[in-house]
Every structure is written in structure tokens, then in C-alpha cells.
A and B are shown apart, each in its own frame.
Chain A
Amino acid sequence: MKVEFLEPATLAEAAALLAAHGEGAKVVAGGTAVTLMLQQRLIAPRVLISLGRIPGCDFIRREADGLHLGALTRLRSVESSTAVRAFSPALAQAFGVVGNVRVRNQATVGGNLAEADYASDPPALLLALDARVTAVGPAESRQMPLSEFFLGFFTTALAPDEILAELIVPSLPVSARAAYLKYASRSAEDRPCVGVAAVVEVDDVGRCRDLRVAVGAAVETPQRLGRVEALAHGETLTDELIATIADEYARALDPLSDARGSAWYRREMIRVFVRRALREARDGHR
């Protein structure tokens, strides 16, 4: 079957093409995910809308409200950017553990999020960092928090004619520290079995001002438990408190089963990696 390959010049034009071609069209950015699905013949689009020639979507910018990443920025660029590392070493690390270097040289920030594969590293940390995204439609653009973006397996809140344009990560207070731990159960290059992100901010006397934990890859969409995070507010973050929080995450989340681990196994690994991620965010090491 013949596939039409379109190369619009702007995101709005791309969104208009998407609206015009409907379900038969598929957007391609870096192509790492789309190519696999095409090869496995899971999808058979009549039209491929490539974002590759759209200028001005590959950028990393520090602005007043945080770090802005263009949708077409390669994962490798994020990983190796001094601006990203200065902003948040954990952010550079979470993008740096995706797949392998060949994948990261090709895959894009927007593609990673819009594909919404549950077994992915950046989403959990981005959720813990309260990140948000900008979506461009044929007529207008809008922003939404990442907490409202992932709806389910491979499903996002993007409308059928919307394209993810930008990722915005708010700055953390200087006294806060973030960590992301990836646990791969099969091989070094594998997608995560469990990924845990933690953000900890303590005041001068060692009391927890803010604590955030997001678990990804083990569940359908990355999850935070506000009720459990609140247990730490105003408290000293002891090993016992960390263990309690880890137990609560393991108890409350509903892990999935796949080739990387059963639901039972993942529940135990959530317990272990929430504990380790919180310790790393608290101490700066595991």
C-alpha cells in the first residue's frame, strides 16, 4: 500500500493536516516508535506527517518559569546538555537511561511523551517535577499539566488534531533535590520494569518541606500518591518514615504484569526503589 509522506513547515500546519486526514494519518517525529509499529504492522497509516522539517522546535531554554524543551529536541541533546545538568542532574539522567545511545540520538522529547508507552523513563520524573506540556492545534494552543496528560496505555489527553509542541519543567527551590532510579529486570538496554522519581526539599532544621514520589513503568500511567507524600510534610525524613512511604506506595498502587515482571514482583520492586530513590534524594547517594 502506498503511504503519503507529508512534511509541513509549521506545527499548526501539521495539526491542520492531522485534522484533515483523521485516523488514517500518523505523526512522526524521531520515528523510533512509529517505525517499530510499522515494521510489526500494528499500524497501517495512509499518511505520515513528518515534523522533521519544522524549524524552531529543537531547543533547550532556561526561562523565568523554568526549563523549556522543544518537542523535537533529541533525548541525547537533553542528556548531554550543560543547561539541563545545571538545572537538574536527575533530569539529564532520566533522559540518559532511555534505550541506547542510537535510540536517544533519534528519539525526541515530544515523541517520548506523546507515544505514552508505560515502560518509559522520563515521564515519572517529569511528573514528580510538576512538568507541563504545550499542545498545538490547527487554530490554537493550550497548556496542560503532565498529571492530566497520560490517560492510559498509549493514550494521552491530546485531541486527535493536536501535536505536542513543548515541555516546561518548573524550577525546583535550591534546597530541593531530585532523583530518578531505573530498574531494568532483563538487560542493561531494556525498558524499565519499575522507575521511581523522588523530590525532597528540607528546611534548615532538617524538616521536610516538600516530598514528591512518582512511580512509572510498573503501572499503566505514572502515579503519585498525594496522601502518602503528605505524610512527610513537616517531619524529619528518617529511614523509618521512608520505609513507611515505600510500603504505602507498594500497597496502594496496582502494578501490571508483563515480560519484565509479574504484578507481585513489581509491587516488591516498588517498595525497594521508592525507598532507594527517597534516600538518594535526601542524602545525595543511595
Chain B
Amino acid sequence: MQLTDSFTIRASPEKVWAFLLDLEEMGRCVPGLASVEKVDEKTYRGTLKVKVGPVAAAFGGKATLTEFDPPRRMAAVLEGDDQLIASMVKASFTSTLTAVEVGTEVAYQMEVSLRGRLAQFGTTVVSATAKKMTAAFAQNVRTKLES
């Protein structure tokens, strides 16, 4: 499943980049992120709670940075699993920041493979949920950076 989305922030790419790397601040903007910690320079661990209607999942896992080109581009591999409804997710994630007239366009591309019970719930529902989470994340970042 391929997920792509983008949003614009009225701030410079440098400012947005610095913000995205600030775990405390950035973490608070991710809807459902229960915990996040830095393991080493390239590895992060965290727990993400996702709820789609009656179905709730709590993914615990890690993100490993594979590309790091400030303030333009980063790539990471995400791996996680959920104990509640026995599901596994693996994703390769690429994000680019582009300077635009009003500030910065943040775009991401994610190749997600989902296994387990959440997968049978349907990729349609999962991708729509990702879109909603991105919109909420963008709104939270805007509130922090544009004030």
C-alpha cells in the first residue's frame, strides 16, 4: 500500500526541519503517539495508538533513519507490531521539505506493508485513517510554528 500526502507550513524549511527533529515538540503533534524515545543517533522507539471506529490498535516499534539531508530530505524504515489485534506493520518512509512562496511544503511517501488482522480490515480504511492523521499532524505543527 502506497501512501502519499503533503501539507504546507508557513515557516522556513530550516525551522520546520529543526522542529521535526525535536522529539518532545514533534511528538506532541502526532495524533495517538503515546511515547517516543531516542535510542541512538539513527534509531527511535515509540508507541502509537490508532483507532478506526470500533477497532483500536497500539503499535510499538522503532524507526531507523536511512537518509538524512538537512533541511531537505529524510528517509526511514519503520517497523512495529500490535499486541491487541495481532498486526504487524513495516514501512519505508521518505519525506522532503521544499521551500515554497508561503513557507515550506512537507511531502511524504510511504510504502506500507501491513499484515495480520488490521490488514483484513481493509487498506481503504487504513489509508483514509493515515490521511486524517496527517491532516491532524499538519494542523498541530501549524499551531506550534505559525503563531
Contact = CB atoms under 8 A, between A and B. Distances in A.
B54 A41 contact: no
A153 B85 contact: no
A43 B128 contact: no
A42 B55 contact: yes
B93 to A, nearest CB: 22
Interface residues of B, number: 19
Nearest to B121: A42
B20 interface: no
Interface residues of A, number: 18
Interface in A235-276: 256-258
Contact of B55 (A43, A116, A152, A256): A43
B124 A154 contact: no
Nearest to B120: A40
Interface string B125-146: 1001100100000000000000
B125 A153 contact: yes
Contacts of A220: 128
Contact of A42 (B117, B124, B129, B132): B117
B85 A154 contact: no
B84 A44 contact: yes
B106 to A, nearest CB: 22
B120 A258 contact: no
A257 B125 CA distance: 10
B71 to A, nearest CB: 33
A199 B36 CA distance: 52
Contact of B122 (A23, A41, A115, A258): A258
B86 A37 contact: no
A26 interface: yes
Nearest to A257: B124
B34 interface: no
A37 B52 contact: no
Interface in B52-81: 52-56
Contact of B53 (A44, A153, A256, A257): A153
Interface string B78-110: 000000111000000000000000000000000
A88 interface: no
A155 interface: yes
10 contacts: A37-B54, A40-B120, A41-B117, A42-B118, A43-B55, A116-B53, A153-B125, A153-B128, A154-B53, A256-B124
Given A43-B85, A152-B128, 7 more contacts: A37-B54, A37-B55, A41-B85, A42-B117, A154-B52, A155-B53, A258-B124
